[in-house]
A and B are shown apart, each in its own frame.
Chain A
Amino acid sequence: AQKVTQAQTEISVVEKEDVTLDCVYETRDTTYYLFWYKQPPSGELVFLIRRNSFDEQNEISGRYSWNFQKSTSSFNFTITASQVVDSAVYFCALSEAYSGAGSYQLTFGKGTKLSVIP
């Protein structure tokens, strides 16, 4: 069975600080995908990144960066120079190649609520 753990329930940082959101996953598959989604107060889930299990190259997109390490089953997300608009709940998610019963569901972690204080 697949599982995603986001140990940090809530984090508060002061604007312009860097912050890292942790994500640890469990899966028996060798082929899987990892995702990060942002959920602002408005409610919709906004896709941030998808990473497949064969690509361990780190990725940077503006102030966002992701560190994927298969050896530790982690897919951590760092926001550099945080801004108030970054305040949201961030979900890490895992999708295996096939989840059974005809579904390819995303297994979400419980989310990390990030508050950026001006």
Chain B
Amino acid sequence: DAMVIQNPRYQVTQFGKPVTLSCSQTLNHNVMYWYQQKSSQAPKLLFHYYDKDFNNEADTPDNFQSRRPNTSFCFLDIRSPGLGDAAMYLCATSKGLGTTNEQFFGPGTRLTVL
């Protein structure tokens, strides 16, 4: 089945140690998104790629970076994780931009920072 896959499902890192989260999709969608969801809160958009065009949300910290080497894969890099970065990170895809384009979400990666 076509889907959005995130690896790993659970990631533990140490304070200040760089970490990379992975997302892949078999939907051949043009747009890939990264959301941060802290406990008992709504998902918050960090950034998205439309093809190779990167769009950063205004309030996304510089500590968060992303790479999209090809259509199928997108990575979230946290350069120096702090305790406040512990959260669920959700990857999503959509065929295009715009309100009619439904976003398909992966299962998320739960990040713990020690």
Residues of chain A within 8 A of B9, CB atoms compared: 43
* Cross-chain contact B42 with A111 (CB below 8 angstroms): yes
Q: Which of B65-73, B78-86, B99-107 contacts A (4 or more CB under 8 A)?
A: B99-107
* Cross-chain contact B107 with A104 (CB below 8 angstroms): no
* Cross-chain contact B57 with A105 (CB below 8 angstroms): yes
B112 to chain A, nearest CB (A): 14
Select one of B42, B45, B55, B102 contacting A109, CB under 8 A: B42
Residues of chain B within 8 A of A101, CB atoms compared: 55, 57-58
Q: A47 and B104 in contact (CB under 8 A), knowing A103-B48, A108-B42, A110-B42?
A: yes
Q: Number of contact residues on B: which range applies?
A: 20 to 34
CA–CA, A42 to B90, complex, Å? 12
Most chain B C-beta atoms within 10 Å of own C-beta, residue among A37, A101, A106: A106
Does B43 make an interface contact (CB < 8 A)? yes
CA–CA, A43 to B108, complex, Å? 6
Interface of B, secondary structure class, is loop
Q: B58: nearest residue on chain A (CB-CB)?
A: A101
Could you tell me which residues of chain A, from 46 to 63, have a CB within 8 Å of some CB in chain B? 46-47, 50, 52
Residues of chain A within 8 A of B105, CB atoms compared: 37, 44-47
CA–CA, A96 to B44, complex, Å? 16
* Cross-chain contact A47 with B102 (CB below 8 angstroms): yes
Residues of chain B within 8 A of A44, CB atoms compared: 90, 105-108
Could you tell me which residues of chain B, from 92 to 114, have a CB within 8 Å of some CB in chain A? 92, 97-108, 110
* Cross-chain contact A102 with B55 (CB below 8 angstroms): yes
* Cross-chain contact A103 with B57 (CB below 8 angstroms): yes
Does B88 make an interface contact (CB < 8 A)? yes
Question: Using a CB–CB distance below 8 Å, which chain B residues touch chain A?
Answer: 9, 40-45, 48, 50, 53, 55, 57-58, 88, 90, 92, 97-108, 110
